[in-house]
Amino acid sequence: MNILSLIKEIEQNKLEPEKLIQCLDIPQNFVLSNAIKQIVKLKLDGNEVVDKLSKLSVLTQKENQLIGIYTVGHLALAALKKMDSSIAKEKYKELVSKINEWDKDCVEKLIENNAFDL
């Protein structure tokens, strides 16, 4: 399946939860960002999702840029913060304590601007 078709399937919620979670392993920024947003919308917050988002949270470099200043890593951290599970919230606190102020501000702006409602 090509990238554009996969993104369309993610956006239209045509993937089973397991397949959607597997999309977090695809090293393509827009597949990752769409999968993260859909995972938050569907409230998928199990251990596997938290682990994968934790790994993605380090992707804050220019090559992981989405739109403007925001990166896959910023979106992954914001997703952890938005999730209801205590394990996600604890992981968010742990990870955000290790990043610089610029990245913290980016994550907070994504949350404040309801990035998951787009």
Average pLDDT, the chain: 94
Is 80 exceeded by the pLDDT of residue 118?
A: no
pLDDT of residue 92: 97
Cα–Cα distance measured from residue 57 to residue 80, given in angstroms and rounded to the nearest whole number = 9
- 95's CB contacts (< 8 A; 6+ apart) are 54, 57, 77, 80
Is 90 exceeded by the pLDDT of residue 110?
A: yes
Is 70 exceeded by the pLDDT of residue 65?
A: yes
Cα–Cα distance measured from residue 100 to residue 46, given in angstroms and rounded to the nearest whole number = 27
Domain range for 47: 3-117
- Give the total number of structural domains in the chain: 1
Q: Half-sphere exposure of residue 79, counting CA atoms within 13 Å on the CB side?
A: 31
Each residue's pLDDT tens digit, 10-58: 999 999 999 999 999 999 999 999 999 999 999 999 999 999 999 999 9
In a 3-state reduction of DSSP, which class is residue 41? helix
